[in-house]
Amino acid sequence: MFLFPVCSPFLTSPSCLSVFPPPEMKGKNPWNTPTTIIITVIGIIAIVALVTVAVLQNRHLPQKYKYGIVLDAGSSHTSVYIYKLCQIYTVGISSYASAPWKAGESLRACMQDVEQQVPKKRHRQTPLYLGATAGMRLLKYNSSMSDGVLQAVEEALQKFPFSYQGARILSGQEEGAFGWVTVNYLDDRLSQVCGLETTGALDLGGASTQISFVSDKYNGSESPSNSVNFRLYGNDYNLYTHSFLCYGKDQALLMTQSVPEMLNDPCFNPGYTAIKNYSKIYDSPCLSGWKPQKIPTHFTHNGTGNFQQCQRIVKSIFNFTHCKYSQCSFNGIFQPSLQGQFGAFSAYYFVMSFLNLTDTTMPLEAVKAKLAHYCSTPWNQIKQQHPEVNEKYLAGYCFSGTYILTLLMEGYNFTSEEYSNIKFIKKIKDSDAGWTLGYMLNLTNMIPAEAPDSPLLPYSGYVSLVTIMAILLFILFILCLCPLWTRCSKQPEIV
Ligand X SMILES: Nc1ncnc2c1ncn2[C@@H]1O[C@H](COP(=O)(O)OP(=O)(O)OP(=O)(O)O)[C@@H](O)[C@H]1O
Annotated binding site for ATP: 206-210
Give 21 or 100: the residue with its C-beta nearer to ligand X: 100
| Encoded amino acid at 132, one letter | A
Which residues are paired to 483 by β-bridges?
Answer: none
| Parallel, antiparallel or unpaired: strands 235-245 and 227-232 | antiparallel
Alpha helices of 262-316 — where are they, by DSSP H? 278-282, 307-315
Query: Which of 208, 135, 186 lies closest to 440, judged by CA?
Result: 186
Catalytic pick among 175, 222, 261, 450: 175
Q: How many CA atoms lie within 13 A of 331 on its CB side?
A: 13
294 exposure class (CB count in 10 Å sphere: 0-12, 13-18, 19+) = exposed
Element (H, E) at 202: strand 200-204
- Residue 92 CB, nearest distance to ligand X (Å)? 6
CA 485 remoteness from chain centre: 65
Minimal distance in Å, beta carbon 135 to ligand X? Answer: 5
CB of 393 to ligand X, least distance (A): 4
CA 317 to chain centre: 31
The least distance separating ligand X from the CB of residue 296, rounded to whole angstroms, comes to: 26
- Catalytic (active site) residue 175: yes
Of all residues in the shown chain, the one whose CB is closest to ligand X is: 74
Are the CB atoms for 401 and 374 separated by under 8 Å? yes
Contacting residues toward ligand X, per CB under 6 A: 74-77, 92, 133-135, 205-208, 248-250, 346-347, 350-351, 354, 393
Rg (CA), the chain: 34
Nearer CB in complex with ligand X: 36/251: 251
Q: What angle do CA 437, 441, 447 make, to 5 degrees?
A: 135
* Residue 134 vs 286, nearer CB to ligand X: 134
- What's the min distance (Å) between Cβ of 100 and ligand X? 18
**Distance in angstroms (rounded) separating the CA atoms of residues 216 and 348:** 26
φ and ψ at residue 326, rounded to 5 degrees: -65, -30
Give catalytic residues, as residue numbers. 175
